[in-house]
Amino acid sequence: MRKIKRVCAVLLLLVLLLSVGVSAGSSYTGSFTRREAAGGTKTVYMPDVYRATDTVYIRDLGLSDGFDKIQDMACDAVGNTYLLVDPGRVIVLNKELQCDREFIPTAADGTELNVEGARGIFVAYNGNLYISDTENARVLRCDGNGLVLQEIKVPESDLIPSDFTFRPMKVSMDSQGYLYVLSDGSYYGALLYDPMGEFSGFYGANSVQTSVLTTLENLWDMLVQNDVKRAKTERVLPFQFIDLFVDENDFVYTCTGQTSGNSVGQLRKLSPGGTNILEYTSATGAASASDSYNFGEKQTFMRLKKKVQQNFTSVLVDDRGFIYALDRAYGLIYVYDQRCTLMTVFGGGYGSGTQQGVFSDACAMDFNGDKLFVADAGRNTITLFEMTTFGNTLLEAQSKTLDSAYTDAKPFWNEVLLSDSGNQLAQRGLAKAAYVEGDYQLALELSRQGRDASVYGQALGMVQNDFIEKHFVWLFPLVILLVVGIVVLMILSRKRSIVLVSNQKLRLMLGCVMHPFRNFQEIKYKKLGSLPLALVITFLFFLTGALQTTLSDFRATSYDPTTYNLIYQIARTIGLVVLWSLANWGVSALAEGKGKLKEVFIVTGYSMLPMVVYQIISIPLSYAIQSSGDLVISSLQTVAIILAGIMLCVGLMTIHDYTFPRLVFVAVLTVLGMILVIFVLFMVGMMISQFWEFIVTVFM
Amino acid sequence: MRDLSILKKCGVVLLSSLLILLPLGCTTQEKAEYQVPETMTLIDSEVVAQNDKYCMRWDSEQNCILLEDLQSGHIWSTLPYDYYLEGETNASLSSPLFINYYDPEYGTVDGAKAYSACIRDDLMSIEKIQGGLRLWFYFQDVEITVPLDFKLREDSVEASVDASLIEESGLTRLVSVTVAPYFCSTQNSAEKDRYLFLPVGSGALMYTQDEIQGISRLFSAELYGTDAARRQLEISKTEEAMRLPVFGVVEGDQGLCAIIEKGSASALIEGEAGNYRNGHSAVYATFNLRGYDEAEVKQLTIGNAVYGYAQIYAEEYNAEQVFSVGYYPLTGAEASYAGMASVYRTYLKKSGILADTSVQQSYRVNLLGGATIKKTMLGFPSTGFVAATTFEQAQTILKDLQEALTAKPEVMLEGFGQTGVDVGQIGGGFAFASALGSAAKQKQLEAYCKEQGIPLYTDFDVVQFSGSGNGFSVSFDTAKTANRQAAYWRPDLLNLPAKNSSVAKIGLLKRSLLPDAVSKLNKFAKDRISGISLSTLGDIAYSDYNTYLYYAKGSMAEQVQELLTTIREEGHPLTVRGGNAYAAMLASSVFDVPLNNGGYDLLDESVPFYQMVFRGHTALYSEPINLTAEWRETLLAALSVGVSPTFMLCNSCDETLINQSKADFYGSVYGNNRDRIVETVDETAAFYDSIQGAELVQYTTLQSGVTQSKFSNGVTVTVNNTDGTVIIGDRSIEARSFVTGDIVVEEGGEPGESEKE
């Protein structure tokens, strides 16, 4: 009855408490970066590396004619800024950001060319302007006043596919005069022209991301599809490049805009052969191609129930090799180093910015001297960003660290820490410096703070070596004594039949590890199994699992207190044992198994003993290993799993009186039964959730 | 049997609740009969009121109010005077009132202008009232009647709308009224001696040029910031709020300063510059009669569902309020934003609510107590507290600063409550976190500061809460939005405009419970705390649709003033963040004082209007300069307008605080900042001493990045906030530095040369 009362009370409360709602929110401000922390990367605030110092409103420049919006922007070496605006016009701003001249490209005979729909502008080192006249399928090379010097059209070459449509949208040129042209809709890569203007071929296309699943899918399609079906199948094509940039060493950097699914590999650095050589180096020191690295945000946000996806549309590289990528959708500018380490993110606006430093539709960026110019097509503005003192120190420090000048970088990193006490790059940089200077203890501390597993492991090795060298005189005899002591104790206990554990059930449980057949038979036939002990082991399985997750060294756990889920921990330990026991008992009841539920639970619980021992041992061990990929812990884990498996098999065979093949068969059915139970639980959960939504909808 | 009867009773209660609640959702408001008088009372052109300075006339031809300055002969009019002389009419310019109304049938908000909807169709009547006129506007099509009063006063004209006299039949609902939209207006001009003044941030100017075809710029924002009890769906960056209820226009040697005297919290200030259609620029106040909430709604389309933003308006409004704006003409040298600041300051002094002159220290130190963090104990998740500065450490920091510097700081303890800098119970649970030290240590710190003459404030958040306690329940004591939902919100993720679902939802306390919270604060502070800081009460303005008085942010100013007065009466000096006018005028100091206009696209220039109003009366402190990108630059920007620098400090910063994105901790470790603080204060203390109690009277930009400020005691400071040395008059000012004393600047010529380093 009490339950009924409670249910009624809850329902009454529901009726009265349906004023749930949401209201005012705060918003994003300032620069941020990502930090390796427990449980993965965290987004954290940091001092500004760049700050907006001025905004140029194109409306205030006194233009001769109206225009729609900025399409692209480029700056030359002497400080002029070239704006390509719709419809087809170029506005040139001088160093003082005053309108110097405006022009529509003109042919040699003086006729103005229609370049409406042109999407890109580029200034070459020799002052020539390249306008990507997208809609007219040509690239115009002009002088500084818009006089067309050359028209570059679709090349006549066998290399050009018959269905190729030439819609140039971006152009770049290297120091040798090779011209790279990106064509809208082309997934073959950039069109490369040699200094003589001859087409040399396609350069550096994106590749299609594949996975085991897609490979299997393709294999399946090959086997089962006929030609008609195959013809109707959509082809998966690589994403096209949106922008490219050639650095002073003639390396080509590209960015890919919106990609479907998990966006990865938005930035690439291409070798002369066109392959991606940009590598992401993780905190463990492992390097992998940037193709699988997400340069943007892990999460997306919704606007009017639609996911707003990031769209990298501009890429730049500065003199120190830092890569700048502009995300048009969020208005964010990312700065990465050559190892894909995020230095900072600034900007913002997320499509609706109206204040200095944020954007509504940031379409292009370029360096103008030491300033970073960002054009906003939504507001028709250019925002000028200047690097802050902090930013300069940070980039200088990282630059030196990447050049392995760790000691030189030290004062810079110390300066960085004054303004940003938690700066992880500084901690890592200083850890490296401390390591090369031989201060391993400091390197250990700093690399732990900086979550640099690689330096931490090396420093730990050195500290351990130092310790052993220093204390070898007493350490060695101590170990010998310990080993001898244990051996003597074992021999004595055997000779004198010393019983260390007097409780028979407990002894039986502990003995299951070494003598599973004998002990499980005693459990079955002498009824010496203990339910409380099985419960304790199951609880210990959960507890040691939780402790292993929360207390292990940072290299061995992904524990994050902010997202740690106790329910999940319970489900994967206690829940698993209970579910297995129930499912196995249910299945074996149908498969002539003789074991009772209690016995199944005892066997399953006892079988977790090796896992409990492993989980306890692994905690101190995680602090002692030098490399995060050390084999000791993983080997121990494998041994524990195998032991647990053997115990479980033997135990179940014993209590159910099964042969091994029958056990395997029942085990498979048990797993299926478990899945069924989970499915039913899931369905019940869904129903409750929908019922709740129904109630909320009715009363709201 | 007994059980069954309980079950039945529960069933009956449930059913009756359903029966009561369900019809509420589908009620339709009854429509009253709307009547327009058969004959309209009109008056001929005549002088309505006159005093020594001004003459207010009614013009029956053009249907406008004219205010003549008898000394200068300049005339201000509800219809721009140049247009008046032309004898033309225009739907916007000829309208002394605009309204916005909500049409419940179509769910749309539309506007109506008095001229086209009433005056042109003879739907206006005029009534003489003491010292002025009452104009009745009958918006017959939408069945709304609005009265607008004009009264001449000794030094100004008051335009007001009495909400109790507004009539609506129910066909439509009045949403807002715009009072005398072109009274504060000027003809568009490329000259910079014509501008609109808006109180955005520190103050902003909009110039009135209209050379750009097809572009007129309309800037509109709620006074005291966006209603915090409203869901905001489009967010790009933190807004810079309008903090003072003042706006105005300047045209050469004439100006008009407008002060929103009543209903300021419900007001929006709107500036429209360079309107090329009617050739005028204007700034005016719009009063929200009904508040609204925002929602994403599915729009009726064929095919895929398309969503759009919708405003959900409150059904009722507070009919007991009066909205009024006072217009104060300015002439000669007074016709500038500085003149407006002077008028507003005088207004505050006359009202007797401007705080007595407070001592402004050379610098301010905000000490961060700590924050809550998530952790686990034996695998079980819990919440812990990480101390960043204990009371003892705070005292050590202050002692160290005292030893290194002769100047004394103003000190604020922030995040010393039970949940630290995180929002927890109201007033931080009216207790200190135990990890920060014992009560004895806190008393020691108070005693030390008292002995040393250091003003010490402790910060309390009595507006936001995420935990129940001390008699305030998050479930039951949260304010309501216009949509009748609890005003809960969650902070955004740091990197995205999306809610951070991993933190507890934060509620805004019911407005009617604010006095209770303040009374509990007074009780807690008695004999324990000297100064009180209210970081949120002076900064956040919000509605509460639990009580009709508080609809559309109604009475926020009056209520907060009342509460602050009770705290002052208890003998506690006050400090407030950001400083909305109503709080700043009663506080001893304001921190996080705005130093610019927020960099909005539509605004042309930042001016230190806020500082001109309060400097010399209320101590002003900047945002924490050690957390800004360029310490020196922010310092000089603050110094140039007489604002002292603030330093955000903590004794130590645990790694977990940074990992869990506690914003202010990253650059605030005392040890890292100590030397620069000493250096900075050493350099600037003498200057701040020299302007103690002085008002900022003049602020001139000599060239880009170089400014000159004059204070009422004669001190002048010239600041070069550029990367190069500049030569002003006969003085050379090094990059990023300042000089005090008079510098002769030649009028008309180039103010100085600059030389890039």
Name the minimum distance, in Å, from the CA of B481 to any CA of chain A: 7
**ipTM reported for the complex, 2 dp:** 0.87
Element (H, E) at B441: helix B439-452
Q: Are both A220 and A316 inside the same structural domain? A: no
In a domain, A24, yes or no: no
Q: Are both A182 and A118 inside the same structural domain? A: yes
Half-sphere exposure of A634 (CA within 13 A, CB side): 6
**The pLDDT of residue A14:** 37
Name the minimum distance, in Å, from the CA of A235 to any CA of chain B: 26
Q: Are both A655 and A604 inside the same structural domain? A: yes
Q: Are both A410 and A521 inside the same structural domain? A: no
Q: Would the CB atoms of B498 and A299 count as touching at under 8 Å?
A: yes
**The pLDDT of residue A674:** 93
Of A594 and B259, which is predicted with more confidence? B259
In a domain, A662, yes or no: yes
Q: Are both A192 and A68 inside the same structural domain? A: yes
User: Closest Cα partner for B391 from B449, B430, B452?
Assistant: B449
Which band of pLDDT confidence, cut at 50, 70 and 90, is reported for residue A1?
very low
In a domain, A21, yes or no: no
Provide φ and ψ at B112, rounded to 5°.
-140, 145
Q: Would the CB atoms of A46 and B666 count as touching at under 8 Å?
A: yes
**The pLDDT of residue A263:** 80
**The pLDDT of residue A21:** 31
| Whole-number Å distance between alpha carbons of B228 and B538 | 13
User: Closest Cα partner for B413 from B461, B467, B453?
Assistant: B461
Rounded to 10 deg, the angle between the A406-419 and A389-402 helix axes is 150
Q: Which of A168, A202, A231 is the last residue of a domain?
A: A231
Which site among B2, B496, B632 would you substitute to test the A interface, given the most A Cβ atoms closer than 10 Å to its Cβ? B496
With beta carbons under 8 A apart, name residues in chain A contacting B236: 27, 348-355, 358, 360
- Of A216-220, A254-258, B268-272, give the range with the top mean pLDDT: B268-272
Residue among A23, A55, A389 minimizing CB distance to B489: A23
Mean pLDDT of A314-340: 95
| Token pair of A193 as six digits | 């022209």
DSSP B632-647: HHHHHHHHTTTPEEEE
Q: Which domains does chain B have, with CATH numbers?
A: 46-351 (2.70.98), 366-475+510-694 (3.20.20), 702-755 (no CATH)
Q: Would the CB atoms of B373 and A419 count as touching at under 8 Å?
A: no
| Token pair of A508 as six digits | 């039986």
DSSP A122-181: EE-TTS-EEEEEGGGTEEEEE-TTSBEEEEE-----TTS-TT----EEEEEE-TT--EEE
- Among the residue ranges A108-112, A210-214, B422-426, the one predicted with the least confidence is A210-214
- pLDDT tens-digit map of A329-362: 999 999 999 999 999 999 988 888 888 899 999 9
**The pLDDT of residue A12:** 37
Residues composing chain A: 700
Non-local (6+) Cβ contacts of A332 within 8 A are A310, A326, A345, A346, A347, A348, B495
Q: Would the CB atoms of A47 and B666 count as touching at under 8 Å?
A: yes
Prior bond of A87 cis (ω within 30°): yes
Q: Would the CB atoms of B490 and A55 count as touching at under 8 Å?
A: no
A and B: number of Cβ contacts within 8 A:
261
Provide φ and ψ at A695, rounded to 5°.
-60, -45
Q: Would the CB atoms of A301 and B378 count as touching at under 8 Å?
A: no
Residue among A29, A306, A561 minimizing CB distance to B376: A561
- pLDDT tens-digit map of A5-23: 444 444 433 333 333 332 2
Name the minimum distance, in Å, from the CA of A699 to any CA of chain B: 7
In a domain, A409, yes or no: yes
Which site among A13, A16, A23, A550 would you substitute to test the B interface, given the most B Cβ atoms closer than 10 Å to its Cβ? A23
Q: Are both A277 and A136 inside the same structural domain? A: no
Q: Which residue has the tokens 């203990």?
A: A530
In a domain, A700, yes or no: no
Q: Are both A331 and A379 inside the same structural domain? A: yes
Contact assessment for residue B180 and residue B96, using Cβ atoms and an 8 Å cutoff: yes
- Taking residue A178's Cβ as centre, other Cβ atoms within 10 Å add up to 17
Q: Which of A171, A197, A231 is the last residue of a domain?
A: A231
- Number of domains within chain A: 4
Q: What Rg value do the Cα atoms of chain B yield, rounded?
A: 28
- pLDDT tens-digit map of B52-105: 999 999 999 999 999 999 999 999 999 999 999 998 889 999 999 999 999 988
Domain that holds residue A405: 400-498
Q: Would the CB atoms of A354 and B602 count as touching at under 8 Å?
A: yes
Which band of pLDDT confidence, cut at 50, 70 and 90, is reported for residue A260?
low
Q: Are both A444 and A541 inside the same structural domain? A: no
**The pLDDT of residue B691:** 95
Q: Is A14 exposed, middle or buried (0-12, 13-18, 19+ CB in 10 A)?
A: middle
Residue among A26, A37, A420 minimizing CB distance to B659: A37
In a domain, A18, yes or no: no
Average of per-residue pLDDT values in chain A: 86
User: Closest Cα partner for A517 from A396, A614, A653?
Assistant: A653
With beta carbons under 8 A apart, name residues in chain B contacting A371: none
For residue A489, the domain's CATH number is 1.25.40
Which band of pLDDT confidence, cut at 50, 70 and 90, is reported for residue A628?
low
Which band of pLDDT confidence, cut at 50, 70 and 90, is reported for residue A504?
confident
With beta carbons under 8 A apart, name residues in chain B contacting A345: 495
Q: Are both A302 and A366 inside the same structural domain? A: yes
| Whole-number Å distance between alpha carbons of B484 and A20 | 9
Q: Are both A559 and A589 inside the same structural domain? A: yes
**The pLDDT of residue A559:** 82
In a domain, A404, yes or no: yes
Provide φ and ψ at B669, rounded to 5°.
-65, 125
With beta carbons under 8 A apart, name residues in chain B contacting A2: none
**The pLDDT of residue B464:** 96
Q: Is B676 exposed, middle or buried (0-12, 13-18, 19+ CB in 10 A)?
A: middle
Spans in chain B with pLDDT lower than 50: 1-2, 4, 21-29, 748-757
- pLDDT tens-digit map of A173-205: 999 999 999 998 888 889 999 988 888 888 887
Residue among A19, A360, A564 minimizing CB distance to B381: A564
Q: Would the CB atoms of A350 and B663 count as touching at under 8 Å?
A: no
User: Closest Cα partner for B185 from B276, B271, B281, B268?
Assistant: B281
Query: Can you say how many angstroms the Cα of residue B378 is from the centroid of all Cα atoms in its chain?
Result: 48
Q: Are both A147 and A248 inside the same structural domain? A: no
| Whole-number Å distance between alpha carbons of A525 and A532 | 18
In a domain, A306, yes or no: yes
Q: Would the CB atoms of A45 and B305 count as touching at under 8 Å?
A: no
- pLDDT tens-digit map of B359-411: 999 999 999 999 998 887 777 778 889 999 999 999 999 999 999 999 999 99
**The pLDDT of residue A269:** 94
Percent of chain A with pLDDT over 90: 54
Q: Which of A209, A231, A253 is the last residue of a domain?
A: A231
For residue A185, the domain's CATH number is 2.120.10.30
With beta carbons under 8 A apart, name residues in chain B contacting A1: 3, 6
Q: Which residue has the tokens 């769209």?
A: A311
Q: Are both A148 and A255 inside the same structural domain? A: no
Scanning every residue of chain A, which has its alpha carbon at the shortest distance from the alpha carbon of B296?
A304
| Whole-number Å distance between alpha carbons of A453 and A623 | 12
With beta carbons under 8 A apart, name residues in chain B contacting A48: 628-629
Angle at A368 (CA atoms; ends A367, A373), nearest 5 degrees: 65
DSSP B574-598: EEEES--HHHHTT-SEEES---S-T
Name the minimum distance, in Å, from the CA of B376 to any CA of chain A: 7
| Whole-number Å distance between alpha carbons of B749 and B728 | 12
| Whole-number Å distance between alpha carbons of B110 and B107 | 10
Percent of chain A with pLDDT over 70: 91
